[in-house]
Amino acid sequence: MSVQLLEKLTNLGKELGYAGLELREWVSAQVKIEEKKSAEALEREERRLLREEQKNEMTLRAQEKLKQEEIALEHPKLDEVEKLKIMELDQQREVKLAEMKLAEGKRDNRNSGAANDSDSGESQASHSSASSRRGNRRKAGPKLPHFDEHKDNIDSYLRRFERYAALQDWQEDDWAIHLSALLKGRALEVYSRLTETEARSYSKLKSALLRK
């Protein structure tokens, strides 16, 4: 108990008419009352601080739980993106494999034709001349860029491809496989959904791309 409070209580007791032993007893009683009030106030403050601490802890737990739920919701999206990337890579590998098989078939056909025409010098010379002309034409012009759905118009790109294919003297039966090697993104997805027969037909591939 502070000296100031004790003096205050003593003066108040005197004003109330207490003196001597009665004053001391009254002051002592008032001191106990003040001490009890102080203890109760201290206890209330401790309870208030405890409630605030518990509230803060609950808030932190709720924030952590929300963060974990957000992460859990994000994981499926990441998984889907990874799956799409893997599917696109698989499709590109399939296209490359088909191109390699087609190129091997062409080499076998040329070798077989050369053996069958070995008895005719004139036919062989004509074949060599035609091959030379095709080789020269295939070297003309730059290589076609890949189709970019964000920049290119599909109709204009297909007309450009057809002119380029004609310039390169490609067989029309091979146009679909050549075009597939230039596709990516959603255009490649359209190609991958076609059946084997449709994927070898340039007209069907072109129709599917234009519809998409």
Domain annotation covers residue 126: no
Do 83 and 2 belong together in one domain?
A: yes
Q: How far apart are CA 212 and CA 147, in angstroms?
A: 14
Do 85 and 1 belong together in one domain?
A: yes
Question: CB of 165 within 8 A of CB of 183?
Answer: no
The pLDDT of residue 96: 78
Domain that holds residue 75: 1-91
Domain annotation covers residue 97: no
The pLDDT of residue 84: 74
**Does position 135 have pLDDT exceeding 50, yes or no?**
no
Do 7 and 86 belong together in one domain?
A: yes
Domain annotation covers residue 150: yes
Domain annotation covers residue 193: yes
User: How large is the average pLDDT for residues 67-85?
Assistant: 69
Domain annotation covers residue 200: yes
Do 85 and 150 belong together in one domain?
A: no
pLDDT tens track for 148-188: 888 889 999 999 999 999 999 999 999 999 999 999 889 99
The pLDDT of residue 176: 93
185: left (phi over 0), alpha (psi -120 to 50) or beta: left
Do 5 and 85 belong together in one domain?
A: yes
pLDDT tens track for 158-169: 999 999 999 999
Domain annotation covers residue 133: no
**Could you tell me what percent of the chain has a pLDDT over 70?**
77
Identify which of 106-115, 143-152, 154-163 has the greatest average pLDDT: 154-163
Do 87 and 148 belong together in one domain?
A: no
Q: How far apart are CA 36 and CA 178, in angstroms?
A: 95
Position 78 confidence tier, pLDDT thresholds 50, 70, 90: low
Last residue of a domain, one of 68, 91, 114: 91
Total count of domains within the chain: 2
Do 87 and 154 belong together in one domain?
A: no
**Does position 123 have pLDDT exceeding 60, yes or no?**
no
Do 86 and 154 belong together in one domain?
A: no
Position 117 confidence tier, pLDDT thresholds 50, 70, 90: low
The pLDDT of residue 76: 58
Domain annotation covers residue 100: no
Do 8 and 75 belong together in one domain?
A: yes
Question: CB of 179 within 8 A of CB of 205?
Answer: yes
Domain annotation covers residue 189: yes
pTM beyond cutoff 0.85? no
Q: How far apart are CA 35 and CA 187, in angstroms?
A: 85
